Structure 1
Amino acid sequence: MNLDIQSLRTFSNLAHSGAEEAAGSLTTLTGFDARVTVTKIEMATRDDVEREFRERDLVTVHIGFSGAIAGHTILAFDRDRAVELVDALVPGASDDPDSELATSGLKELGNIMLGGFIDGWADFLGEGIDITTPTYVELDANRSLRDVVDGPAAGDGGAAAANGTGGATPLETELDTGHVLAFRNHLETVNEEAGFYIYMLPTHDSVETIVDAAGEDNDAIPVETFTSFSRMISEGAGQASEDLTAMTGIDTSVDVSRLSFVPVEGVPMELTDEARRGVVLEFMGTPSGYIAILFDHDSAESVADALMPGMDADPAMRQSAIQEIGNIVTSGFLDGWANALETTIDISPPTYVDDIASAIVDPLVTELARTQDYAFLIDSAIVTPDETFTCDIYALPDERELRAAFDQLAPEPEPN
């Protein structure tokens, strides 16, 4: 199966339109004015998706779908937001959030919102899509993504019967293989930071169906290439983690590393509005683009202390230490890319930054917006077991140069 930029744009538009339908349903049902803030397509590992669910106090409603396309949709709420919304739909439900009344209200809300979301895909494909009865799931450290999508899909015998397998559904099988292609929408109610998310996890065959309907062009990229690139990102983050450990003496590990496709204007909204210190660099080669290495205030102080103990009274030296750490982390992150692509990637001197994360990235996005409407956002995080510090890595490659990198990673065509 191949993906092209036009297909990704079609996916993004469909997911965004579907999410707007869901937001409209929420407003009608509860009176809360909701809007879609970000729509993104992620190539992520199963572990990364699970980690995001586990790290938030989420409750979810999930619905299977089959027909023109198959898979699962997941509506995930912050717990406090879920209680508030359900109480608007079923007055008194908040008195006992764990009651059958409350969970039934949330399932009904999910059913209507996700039904509207799926209808847009059915309209685009011109074929019917059946959905299952909604299931309420609470996520915790003991649950996996398989737990979320497990259960019957649409149709009399569920997805397994619909596909003639009598066992695991295609999506469940794909979850076992590592990477998943997820369509994620972030919605929020006006004046509220806490929001909720719609995840759509289609099967491999369903993605292919949508690609065919979108119209594949000559620049199509095998989906295996995206997987290879995602793996390369993870390996680069791993090397950066090792270099950071060697430099500071503090054990680190890669918490998350993923590739997303998102409208350029949506990139800053993906980042926090909390203050960050770090560096911004430009990288040149195949691919080229920009990278930001960012620490929160306490993390920046921790890494500066580790590199230059006793320099508390010299802000200039501490800034220099952060610049040097940013330089080393960037080199480790990109060296793995250069090795995998058998090319050279040069980096500019690091520029020190101290601002909220979205404001730091905004000038980089503005520069990319001169030549492209969508961006591939590479998001990695390096953490320590005791939370001494967190290092966030955001890379924004130029779309044209990234296409050249994809060509380097594309599998060799099989001989006739």
Structure 2
Amino acid sequence: MNLDVRSLRTFSRLAHSGAEKAAGSLTTLAGIDTYVNVTKVELGTKADVVREFSERELVSVNIGFSGGLDGRTILAFSPTSADRIVETLVPELDGSDATNELATSSLKEVANIMLGGFIDGWANYLDTSIDITTPTYVDEDAGDPLADVNVDGFEPNAETEQILVFRNQLETAADAVGFDLYMIPSPDSIQTIIEASGDDGALPVESFASFSEMISDGASQASDDISAMTGIDTDVEVSRLSFVPIEGVPMSLTDAVRRGVVLEFSGTPSGYIAILFDEPSAENIASSLLPGMEDDEAMRQSAIQEIGNIVTSGFLDGWANALETTIEISPPKHVHDIGSAIVDPLATDLAQSQEYAFLIDSTIRTNDDEFTCDIYALPDQSELRKALEQLAPAA
């Protein structure tokens, strides 16, 4: 299976269009104004999806699909969001939790309508028919959101098997309810969509998988460097590669205030990287490096810049080694603002030459939440292609 920017762009547009249909269905059904916040195409594994559901304690409704495409869709939400939907649809259940039989029935009906509309958009594009299964409710304790829907030709049982995940974040106008809408097609179905969109100059999916492994290795090295510098044990929580419209990059971050550094890197690949901490984490980092300097803001800022520089070097050095190239890094620029505002200028600069971005998102944290470090990298699309070509397996 081969992928290129053209096919990824088609995936993204179809996923966004389908999500808009799903949002419109909920608006019509429940009178809740709903919109699509951001659409991502992510390359990951089954283990990545299972871990995310477990960590976020998501409840979900699964629907399989088969025919012109095979796979499954998942409508996921927090228990609080599920309760609010139920309260809107079935007012007499006000105060009941979403695991009540009537409540779960209501959620399955919502998912059936929303996900049915989502799949219809793909069927129309491919001029084919796609059948869907009966909805299956999965609570937050189930562990595996992919376990309960059987679809011919699609059983992602291997923990390390690479899968494409189409993820849409939907929100209501009042921010009372949030959803994640996932579509996970089978490899054969992905190939069907690629052939429909054209795949001139496409690269084997193994190139993207190798790059994803490179990202994970870089995050692990950055985690080790933080531990060595601060004496605090850290772990990589998540590290992933996603494809997102350039205007959606800032929306991928929350509006929580962050503090950290922004740097530019050049070589193969080139682009921008932001090392961001929430404010308590930034204070803890500075204190661990400069104990007793709480009142010297200039010194604390310098400490944050230094650790940002170390994290960036650890993150990118592995790339340079794997690609047998040199990646130069600019001096770190201290930033202190809401996350979306920090990343927006970086995306704006890339938008001069590309419509979509490959967003690299890694999170490093301590077990006791003493601090969290988020790494966001935005490589230049043309330079990233050169890197992917180098990672392509020999014919």
**Same fold per TM (> 0.5)?**
yes
Structure 2 alignment gaps of length 5 or more = none
Residue 202 of structure 1 corresponds to 185
Counterpart contact for 2:2–2:205, Cα < 8 Å: yes
The letter for the 2-side match of 1:61 is: V
The letter for the 1-side match of 2:130 is: I
Shift of 1:198: 0.4
Counterpart contact for 1:48–1:257, Cα < 8 Å: no
Q: Provide the C-alpha distance between the structure 2 equivalents of 1:224 and 1:332, rounded to a whole number of angstroms.
A: 24
Shift of 1:9: 0.6
Shift of 1:128: 1.1
The letter for the 1-side match of 2:115 is: L
- 1:190-249 deviations in whole A, cap 9, x for unaligned? 0216410100011111111110111111x2011111111101000000000011111111
Residue 353 of structure 2 corresponds to 371
The letter for the 2-side match of 1:216 is: D
- 1:280-320 deviations in whole A, cap 9, x for unaligned? 00000000000000011111111111111111121111110
Q: Provide the C-alpha distance between the structure 2 equivalents of 1:381 and 1:194, rounded to a whole number of angstroms.
A: 25
The letter for the 2-side match of 1:121 is: W
Picking from 147, 151, 159, the partner of 1:150 is 147
Counterpart contact for 2:365–2:371, Cα < 8 Å: yes
SS in 2 for 1:201: strand
SS in 2 for 1:412: coil
- Work out whether 1:191 is the aligned partner of 2:174: yes
Q: Provide the C-alpha distance between the structure 2 equivalents of 1:237 and 1:384, rounded to a whole number of angstroms.
A: 14
Picking from 270, 291, 314, the partner of 1:332 is 314
For the aligned residue pairs, the C-alpha RMSD in angstroms reads 1.3
Residue 249 of structure 1 corresponds to 231
SS in 1 for 2:102: helix
Output aligned runs, 1:16-415, within 5 Å. Answer: 16-97=16-97, 98-140=99-141, 143-144=143-144, 148-153=145-150, 159=151, 162-163=152-153, 170-173=154-157, 175-192=158-175, 194-217=177-200, 219-413=201-395
The letter for the 1-side match of 2:242 is: S
TM-score between the two structures when normalised by the length of structure 1: 0.92
Q: Provide the C-alpha distance between the structure 2 equivalents of 1:95 and 1:274, rounded to a whole number of angstroms.
A: 30
Residue 167 of structure 1 corresponds to none
TM-score between the two structures when normalised by the length of structure 2: 0.97
Aligned residues: 394
Q: Provide the C-alpha distance between the structure 1 equivalents of 2:277 and 2:271, rounded to a whole number of angstroms.
A: 20
Q: Provide the C-alpha distance between the structure 2 equivalents of 1:239 and 1:45, rounded to a whole number of angstroms.
A: 21
**Worse overlay, 374-383 or 312-321:** 312-321
Shift of 1:108: 0.6
- 1:366-389 deviations in whole A, cap 9, x for unaligned? 100110000000000111111110
| Identical aligned residues as a percent | 65
Q: Provide the C-alpha distance between the structure 2 equivalents of 1:17 and 1:377, rounded to a whole number of angstroms.
A: 21
